[in-house]
Amino acid sequence: MDPSLAVWLVVAMSFAAANLPFLSERVFGLVPLKAGRAADGTVRTKSLLLRLLELTVLYFVVGALARLLESSIGGVFAQGWEFYAITGCLFLVLAFPGFIWRYLRKQRR
């Protein structure tokens, strides 16, 4: 596989995975939550804590897939804590559109 294609594939996977927790009410886009209503009559949705946990797990899944792609191209480079701090922050930046969609857009009723 061409290295530049692998880079763009990782970027696309990261963008999709970072926004998935905010765009779907299912866990990892697959597992539906138990439906129900809260005491005040509102429909239950995923909590922010669950979304952040899901975002963390997806960060590591994308990282594992990126490492697999890197090993298929050639040697795998050793990474320090700085690499993980920067990629974690970039993953959060990629999740910003989904966060805006879920929490900051005006709800029409």
31-49 tens-digit pLDDT: 777 766 655 555 667 788 9
Residue 109 lies in a domain: no
Residue 11 lies in a domain: yes
Range of the domain at 9: 3-104
Residue 78 lies in a domain: yes
Amino acid 90 reads: L
**Average pLDDT of the residues in 59-73:** 93
User: What burial class does residue 27 get, using C-beta atoms within 10 Å of its C-beta: 0-12 exposed, 13-18 middle, 19+ buried?
Assistant: middle
Residue 81 lies in a domain: yes
Overall number of domains in the chain: 1
Its pTM stands at: 0.83
pLDDT of residue 75: 82
Residue 51 lies in a domain: yes
**3-state SS class at 47:** coil
pLDDT band at 54 (very low <50, low <70, confident <90, very high): very high
